[in-house]
């Protein structure tokens, strides 16, 4: 039978109200929806959009304090800026392409240039309230799901100028969600680092920074040893900080008008180029960027008019006109710092020479590893790739792609049958990977499995070659599975920590129990869920404990890696914390670790 034809006439053409469009196409405005378990989930973007407006006031020299509260799912933000002009309050929070940020005289450096941010918060909130205070007068408006419910205006002589926003993310859009205090605090700390002199109060806790990006690097690095004291420079439109640690790889934090550009962009590239040029000019050398940046940790923040981002979520800067200015400024200031700190400059140049020597030694090992891999197989052993790497949808669907690192052939076999062949790849581990903590990078090339994992992901030369948006660790929920998970995380954090810091690594959560009777099957992810399921299904339901992923049939597995897949993002609050945890868990301090386990086991028994 053929498909039923649908008439394409005037009735098929729909015109949506702007806020209705936001609710219908939410992803276009806030990126991912999520459930609050990831810092880039929609609820945090809503909070960011509101705070951004308050930050813009501070940048323009208006208001040095922002007060934020959260009570369950309700959030309020009160700034002490100029306040929205009273005659335009409703339009500014409900009419797309309405706002003061189109005027360079009023807002010179702003992230929200397209007049969408607060409107998206309004449209995606079950309840949204705005109050603007100006010169003793106020206008108040209440909305529900973007629709105006009431408006009030009057006089409040004692209220200082500024804007108050209250919103509750709509559970019709975000479904079941929860706020994570750690993600909120992480974002507020960044705001403080980027805006020296600003005080943020969140549920009465104060966030403030005196030395901006220098404080940011200190917090991120923690107690990890550095080669020299942090280089720090700040002027009106550019601020940067940098130092070298003893770790592998390089790490950057880049910002435009206060917006964290997690995927970098032209300003971050220019920052790297300026450092390289400055060091080479000072040392009269011709070092490569790779050798100069090994172990480098840096942060750069710029202010510019009309920044061009790749999307509404503004994760990567595309503007090219700032590149020359940044390169020149960073180059000059790097040279000045090196001239003023000759002993530190000497240590840095010696480190770069060592990096160069190690890179050349590693090049030989790399070549041998690649030749060895070619003899074994044309393709990467144990990798079952997904089709986006072979068809015309490659670029369009890269963000949908994922690779599962599975424990053994039995689990891998079930997942291969259950997966989406277009977007999901499977890599089956041979056994427990090597504990690489404290080992040199040549280990990756000398160990066949570690080399194959790196090759499968495409991260040998950094994240630019990453072949999958999500790297998902899928191991059994037992002691061996947890050990393998920790070994893989150690591998990534030791050699490719940017993979984790940029939010690409996840843990697959699969059910521990299946509870069923003749009519219904319930999958449970904890003993508590199992007990509830047993109770709800009545007398003597069948209870199965999944000991390993290989025990789950392909038909069952399909739902656990489909649309309802449960992923736990691997999030690290700071680089310094990473090295402290790895040293404790994976280092050679066996007696200390044993004492910790015994103590905590005893406490649990008590």
The domain spanning residue 133 has which CATH number? 3.30.565.10
pLDDT at 7 over 70: no
Total domains present in the chain: 5
Regarding whether 96 and 22 lie in a shared domain, the answer is yes
Q: What is the pLDDT of residues 47-68, one digit of tens each?
A: 998 998 898 888 888 889 999 9
Regarding whether 415 and 428 lie in a shared domain, the answer is yes
Kind of pairing, strands 470-474 and 505-509? parallel
Regarding whether 304 and 326 lie in a shared domain, the answer is yes
Q: Which residue has the higher pLDDT, 599 or 8?
A: 599
Which residues have CB under 8 Å from 160's CB, separation 6+?
Answer: 80, 133
C-alpha 154, offset from chain centre: 43
Kind of pairing, strands 199-202 and 125-134? unpaired
Residue 361 in any domain: the answer is no
Task: Over range 247-256, report the average pLDDT.
Answer: 87
Phi, psi of 257 (to 5 degrees): 50, 35
In angstroms, the Cα distances linking 115 to 49, 85, 145, 312 are: 11, 15, 18, 11
**112: pLDDT confidence band, cut at 50, 70 and 90?**
very low
CA nearest to 443, candidates 481, 409, 487, 485: 487
Regarding whether 342 and 315 lie in a shared domain, the answer is yes
Residue 297 in any domain: the answer is yes
Residue 366 in any domain: the answer is no
Regarding whether 129 and 46 lie in a shared domain, the answer is yes
Q: What is the pLDDT of residues 238-250, one digit of tens each?
A: 999 999 988 878 8
What's the pLDDT score for residue 14?
Answer: 46
Regarding whether 198 and 279 lie in a shared domain, the answer is no
Regarding whether 248 and 135 lie in a shared domain, the answer is no
Give dist(CA 192, CA 311) in Å, integer. Answer: 25
What's the pLDDT score for residue 106?
Answer: 41
Give dist(CA 433, CA 420) in Å, integer. Answer: 26
Structure tokens at 248: 């592998």
pLDDT at 15 over 50: no
CB 347 within 8 A of CB 228: yes
Phi, psi of 290 (to 5 degrees): -60, -40
Phi, psi of 445 (to 5 degrees): -90, -20
**For a pLDDT cut of 90, what percent of the chain falls above it?**
40
Residue 46 in any domain: the answer is yes
Beta bridge partner(s), residue 207: 200
Residue 335 in any domain: the answer is yes
C-alpha 9, offset from chain centre: 44
What's the pLDDT score for residue 3?
Answer: 52
Residue 416: its H or E element: helix 408-418
What's the pLDDT score for residue 16?
Answer: 53
What's the pLDDT score for residue 73?
Answer: 95
**473: pLDDT confidence band, cut at 50, 70 and 90?**
very high
Which residues have CB under 8 Å from 342's CB, separation 6+?
Answer: none
What's the pLDDT score for residue 266?
Answer: 93
Which residues have CB under 8 Å from 140's CB, separation 6+?
Answer: 129, 130, 131, 151, 152, 153
Q: Which residue has the higher pLDDT, 111 or 320?
A: 320
Give dist(CA 326, CA 331) in Å, integer. Answer: 8
What's the pLDDT score for residue 606?
Answer: 29
pLDDT at 127 over 90: yes
Residue 10 in any domain: the answer is no
**480: pLDDT confidence band, cut at 50, 70 and 90?**
confident
What's the pLDDT score for residue 566?
Answer: 87
**Average pLDDT along the chain:** 84
What's the pLDDT score for residue 8?
Answer: 43
**425: pLDDT confidence band, cut at 50, 70 and 90?**
very high
Structure tokens at 99: 């706002």
- Going 179 to 185 to 191 to 194, the CA torsion angle's sign is negative
Beta bridge partner(s), residue 220: none
Q: What is the pLDDT of residues 132-167, one digit of tens each?
A: 999 999 999 999 998 999 999 999 888 999 999 999
Regarding whether 130 and 192 lie in a shared domain, the answer is yes
Range of the domain at 595: 577-606
Length of the chain: 606
Which SS3 state, helix, strand or coil, does residue 23 take? helix
Q: Which residue has the tokens 């070659």?
A: 465
Which SS3 state, helix, strand or coil, does residue 431 take? coil
Give dist(CA 539, CA 120) in Å, integer. Answer: 49
**596: pLDDT confidence band, cut at 50, 70 and 90?**
low
Residue 365 in any domain: the answer is no
**For a pLDDT cut of 70, what percent of the chain falls above it?**
86
Phi, psi of 295 (to 5 degrees): 85, 0
Give dist(CA 291, CA 355) in Å, integer. Answer: 5
Task: Over range 254-280, report the average pLDDT.
Answer: 92
Give dist(CA 554, CA 561) in Å, integer. Answer: 10
Task: Over range 360-381, report the average pLDDT.
Answer: 73
CB 401 within 8 A of CB 470: yes
What's the pLDDT score for residue 461?
Answer: 81
Regarding whether 158 and 50 lie in a shared domain, the answer is yes
Give dist(CA 100, CA 265) in Å, integer. Answer: 27
Regarding whether 169 and 242 lie in a shared domain, the answer is no
Residue 5 in any domain: the answer is no
The CATH number of the domain holding residue 237 is 3.30.230.10
Question: Could you tell me the pTM of the whole model?
Answer: 0.72
Structure tokens at 462: 């950094």
The CATH number of the domain holding residue 407 is 3.40.50.670
Beta bridge partner(s), residue 238: 302
Beta bridge partner(s), residue 405: 427, 473
Give dist(CA 304, CA 342) in Å, integer. Answer: 34
Regarding whether 258 and 180 lie in a shared domain, the answer is no
What's the pLDDT score for residue 390?
Answer: 47
Rounded to 10 degrees, the C-alpha dihedral 48/49/53/55 comes to 20
Regarding whether 563 and 581 lie in a shared domain, the answer is no
∠99-105-106 over CA atoms, to 5°?
Answer: 40
């Amino acid at each position: 039978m053929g498909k039923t034809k649908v008439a394409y006439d005037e009735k098929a053409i729909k015109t949506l109200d702007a806020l209705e469009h936001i609710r219908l196409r939410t992803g276009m405005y806030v990126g991912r929806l999520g459930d609050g378990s990831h810092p880039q989930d929609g609820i945090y973007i809503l909070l960011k959009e509101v705070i951004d407006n308050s930050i813009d006031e501070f940048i323009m020299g208006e208001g040095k304090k922002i007060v934020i509260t959260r009570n369950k799912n309700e959030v309020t933000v009160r700034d002490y800026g100029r306040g929205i002009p009273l005659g335009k309050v409703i339009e500014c929070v409900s009419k797309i392409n309405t706002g003061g940020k189109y005027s360079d005289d009023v807002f010179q450096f702003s992230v929200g240039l397209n007049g969408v941010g607060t409107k998206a918060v309004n449209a995606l909130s079950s309840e949204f309230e705005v109050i603007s205070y100006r010169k003793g007068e106020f206008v108040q408006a209440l909305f529900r799901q973007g629709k105006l419910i009431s408006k009030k205006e009057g006089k409040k002589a004692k209220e200082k100028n500024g804007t108050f926003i209250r919103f509750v993310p709509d559970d019709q859009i975000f479904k079941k969600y929860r706020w994570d205090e750690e993600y909120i605090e992480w974002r507020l700390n960044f705001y403080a680092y980027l805006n020296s002199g600003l005080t943020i109060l969140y549920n009465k806790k104060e966030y403030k920074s005196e030395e901006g990006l220098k404080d940011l690097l200190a917090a991120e690095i923690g107690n990890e040893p550095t080669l020299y004291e942090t280089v720090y420079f700040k002027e009106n439109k550019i601020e940067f900080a940098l130092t070298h640690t003893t770790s592998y790889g390089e790490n950057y934090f880049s910002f435009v008008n206060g917006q964290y550009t997690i995927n970098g962009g032209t300003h971050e590239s220019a920052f790297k180029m300026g450092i390289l040029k400055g060091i080479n000019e000072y040392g009269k050398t011709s070092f490569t960027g790779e050798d100069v940046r090994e172990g480098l940790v840096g942060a750069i923040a710029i202010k510019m008019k009309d920044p061009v981002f790749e999307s509404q979520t503004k994760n990567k800067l595309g503007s090219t006109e700032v590149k020359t200015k940044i390169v020149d400024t960073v180059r000059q200031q790097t040279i000045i710092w090196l001239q003023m700190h000759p002993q530190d400059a000497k240590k840095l140049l010696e480190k770069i020479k060592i990096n160069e020597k190690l890179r050349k030694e590693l090049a030989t090992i790399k070549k041998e590893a690649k030749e060895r891999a070619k003899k074994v197989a044309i393709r990467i052993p144990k990798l079952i790739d997904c089709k986006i790497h072979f068809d015309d949808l490659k670029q369009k669907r890269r963000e949908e792609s994922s690779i599962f690192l599975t424990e053994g052939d039995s689990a891998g076999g079930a997942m291969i049958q259950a997966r989406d062949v277009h977007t999901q790849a499977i890599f089956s581990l041979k056994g427990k990977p090597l504990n690489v903590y404290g080992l040199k990078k040549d280990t990756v090339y000398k160990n066949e499995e570690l080399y194959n994992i790196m090759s499968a992901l495409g991260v040998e030369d950094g994240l630019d070659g990453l072949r999958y948006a999500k790297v998902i660790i899928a191991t059994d929920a037992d002691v061996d599975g947890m050990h393998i998970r920790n070994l893989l995380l150690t591998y990534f954090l030791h050699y490719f920590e940017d993979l984790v810091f940029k939010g690409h690594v996840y843990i697959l959560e699969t059910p521990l129990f299946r509870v069923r009777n003749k009519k219904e099957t319930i999958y449970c992810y904890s003993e508590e869920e199992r007990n509830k399921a047993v109770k709800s299904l009545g007398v003597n339901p069948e209870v199965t404990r999944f000991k390993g992923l290989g025990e789950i049939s392909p038909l069952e597995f399909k739902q656990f890696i489909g649309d309802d897949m449960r992923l736990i993002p691997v999030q690290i609050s700071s680089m310094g914390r990473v090295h402290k945890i790895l040293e404790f868990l994976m280092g050679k301090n066996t007696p200390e670790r044993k004492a910790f386990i015994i103590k905590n086991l005893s406490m649990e028994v008590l």
